[in-house]
Amino acid sequence: MGVVEGDIHDIGKNIVALVFKSMGWEVYDLGRDVPPSKFVEKAREVDADVVGLSGLMTQDIDPAFKTVLELRRTGARTKIIVGGVFANKEMQERVGADAFGVNP
């Protein structure tokens, strides 16, 4: 899980990571401003079931799309979830993710 390249806003990601960890999930937090290659590298390394992409700004759609594209090119069967202020069904479909997290 990480904040997509070009974005440094990580409070939401940090909260979600903490919640997942408290539920017993094994979480690898890649931090903020994460390039697609780092998501791909870590997903391969740990054989990830789920990759979480976070972003706060509408400008994050392009980096999220590039990250999803790179993850799909690897042939990995990981599920990809987008979250953050910009995340909704339209954005999920636009970038090719499997799901999105709703902001309360």
Residue 21 CA: distances (Å) to CA of 1, 4, 16, 27, 94: 12, 20, 9, 6, 29
Q: Is the dihedral of CA 66, 71, 64, 35 positive or negative?
A: negative
**What's the pLDDT score for residue 104?**
60
What is this structure's pTM? 0.91
Return the amino acid letter for 78: T
**What's the pLDDT score for residue 98?**
96
Domains annotated for the chain, with CATH where assigned, are 2-100 (3.40.50.280)
Give the list of residues 6+ apart from residue 44 with CB closer than 8 angstroms, or none: 74, 76
**What's the pLDDT score for residue 63?**
94
Cα(96)–Cα(73) distance, integer angstroms: 12
pLDDT tens string, the chain, 104 residues long: the values are 999 999 999 999 999 999 999 999 999 999 999 999 999 999 999 999 999 999 988 888 899 999 999 999 988 789 999 998 878 898 899 899 999 987 66
Greatest alpha-carbon span in the chain = 33
**What's the pLDDT score for residue 87?**
85
